[in-house]
Amino acid sequence: MGFDGERQQHDGGIVEVPSHAEGLKEERRVRAIDALVAAGDTLAARDLLPQVDRLRETTLHDAVLGYLAVVQGQPAEADARLSRAWRTVDPASDPELAAAICQRFVLHSLLSWRPNDLVHWADRAIALAPTDGPIATEARAIRGLGLGASGDITAGLAAYDGLTGLRGAQAHRVIMGRGWLSLAAGRIDEARTGLSSSLPTDFGGGSLRISAWAHAWLARVLFLVGDWDHALDIARRGLEIVEHSGMAFFVPLLEWTISQIHAMRNDDERAVASLQRGSSVSTDYLVMQLPSLIARASAAETSADYRGVVRTLSPLADRAPDDPVNEPGFWPWGDIYANALVMEGRLEEAQTFLEPQIALAQRRGDIVSLARLGLPLGRLHAAQGQIQDARRTFEDALHSIEGLPLEVDRARLWFAYGQSLRRAGKRRESDTALWSARQLFARLGATRYIERCDREIAAAGIGAQRGGQPDLELTSQESLVAGLVANGKSNREVASELYISAKTVQYHLTRIYGKLGIRSRSELAARYRESGTIAGEGDLRDSSAPDSDRERINADESGHSAS
């Protein structure tokens, strides 16, 4: 392979391997390794190493072996080889080789999670390579990710918008990169579409490496939206690609999703096995370390081992606030860590940690990250006795992801909300929130959390008083609000008609969504169209509120922090 023409198309290689391989020269052997690595066949490239180990070390030799070290997850070897190649290359006389070295540094920077370096090397590669050549195009395909991870997702998405008219392998790279960035930006449906179309490699010389990235990130999307069986299937198919290609740095990223699902489904044996596989490969690159740490912390959180969460994530928390691992949207670990601090009673530490995390997410305008951080912040307020602030924080977080298919985040928020209310002595309110969480976890098949919800509900005691049946029917106030919203009225219009504030309308809507197991106004309208009533609480076609109901709603407003 690589010598007889079977691998003639290999986008991103330094040059194409000649079809006729008789009497191979040293340079051809090195270039053959480069072609195989570019095609994603790391195992075949590694098999050729004995043929080049004895050759004299040249700039090309260092560039290619540095590239191989990158895809094998060996950052120290990669950095040494690529740095030496860059020192010895002459961009003026050999711009193509110089551009290729820059592009290898782009991938090295991505796996090291140094987005500023990624953009720097991508710009150099683009400047040196032919404008429409594979090296420049691949650099542009990854550059958008670097911009996003540096704090400017808008610029990153705009960069992808400018990459049109591409076909084959280069389009494959661009679609995957944009899909990954869309996930970080909270554009879940867009991410799912893009990453799904990046899975196959049977068109136009698509890269196995790009396909592996797509499998890993699509599995994350499917986990978040609650399509867990599909997520497991995609992650396992990604592992098959890794096994056949030898690109071990993908293993922790793929096992992250697998272990998290098994842990939440209370399948400890499979969860532990997955965690062990994820940590069994060399994890020197940060992009390998991050998913491994988050997976272990998530498993500990699922088992209520909050001390274990803190211990696992402390290496990340010890990094500077402006470290790229804290960039919102890419690596969701901050909310898990802060939640564990609160649950361990380390309230001052939690507040100190949360403040810069929230401030950064606010500057970035990252709604999803702010909602996730709302979970530990709401818990913190409740633990400090600020129950009104806790209510407002949880309600705001739930409202902010209304309409987004983030089923796992929604379930976690309701669960934390219910726990916080119960521990603050608000048993009846906690019961409703916990049943909302239980409904969502049941839909996911998250057995471990269903059991935790049941224990919390039993501890609240309200379910026992009513015979253990969930009180998820809408109150008269909620039915009035639901009917008006289902008929297309805005919060402001509902508020005007019922003589309440728009924030109180949103408070009721959040509770309505939780009780009915829906997430948007359109789903509420669909429910209304199907039956004309919601949860048996009156005919919603009569949206006029009796004075007594208006009085109760206004009284309700004074007793709840609006969201």
Q: How far is CA 65 from the centre of its chain?
A: 32
Q: How buried is residue 167: exposed, middle or buried, by Cβ count under 10 Å (0-12/13-18/19+)?
A: exposed
Cα separation, 465 vs 381, in Å, equals 29
Q: Please name which of 274, 276, 249 lies closest in space to residue 264, comparing C-alpha atoms.
A: 274
Cα separation, 409 vs 171, in Å, equals 32
Q: Return left, alpha or beta for 266; rule: phi > 0 is left, psi -120 to 50 is alpha, else beta.
A: left
DSSP string, 15-46: SPPPS--TT--HHHHHHHHHHHHHTT-HHHHH
Determine the structural domain holding residue 217 and report its residue range: 165-246
What pLDDT, on a 0 to 100 scale, did the predictor assign at position 463? 59
Tally the residues of the chain.
563
Q: Please name which of 468, 431, 474, 473 lies closest in space to residue 453, comparing C-alpha atoms.
A: 431
Mean pLDDT per block of 10 residues along the chain (563 residues) reads: 39 47 62 83 84 76 93 93 97 96 97 98 97 90 97 96 83 94 97 94 67 97 98 97 90 98 97 95 89 98 97 97 96 98 98 98 97 99 97 96 95 97 91 92 95 90 54 73 88 82 81 78 81 45 39 44 37
* 187, part of any domain: yes
- Mapped onto helix, strand or coil, the DSSP state of residue 86 is helix
- Mapped onto helix, strand or coil, the DSSP state of residue 61 is helix
Contact in structure between 218 and 234 (CB atoms under 8 Å): yes
What pLDDT, on a 0 to 100 scale, did the predictor assign at position 400? 95
* 197, part of any domain: yes
Cα separation, 472 vs 252, in Å, equals 40
Contact in structure between 309 and 295 (CB atoms under 8 Å): no
- For residue 195 the two structure tokens come to 């990453």
* 531, part of any domain: no
Cα separation, 195 vs 176, in Å, equals 6
What pLDDT, on a 0 to 100 scale, did the predictor assign at position 546? 40
- For residue 508 the two structure tokens come to 């009721």
Cα separation, 370 vs 35, in Å, equals 44
What pLDDT, on a 0 to 100 scale, did the predictor assign at position 47? 85
CA dist 24 → 17, 32, 81, 120 (Å): 11, 10, 24, 36
Contact in structure between 534 and 474 (CB atoms under 8 Å): yes
* 238, part of any domain: yes
- For residue 234 the two structure tokens come to 């995609």
Q: Number of structural domains, the chain?
A: 1
Contact in structure between 191 and 217 (CB atoms under 8 Å): yes
What's the whole-model pTM score? 0.82
CATH of the domain at 184: 1.25.40.10
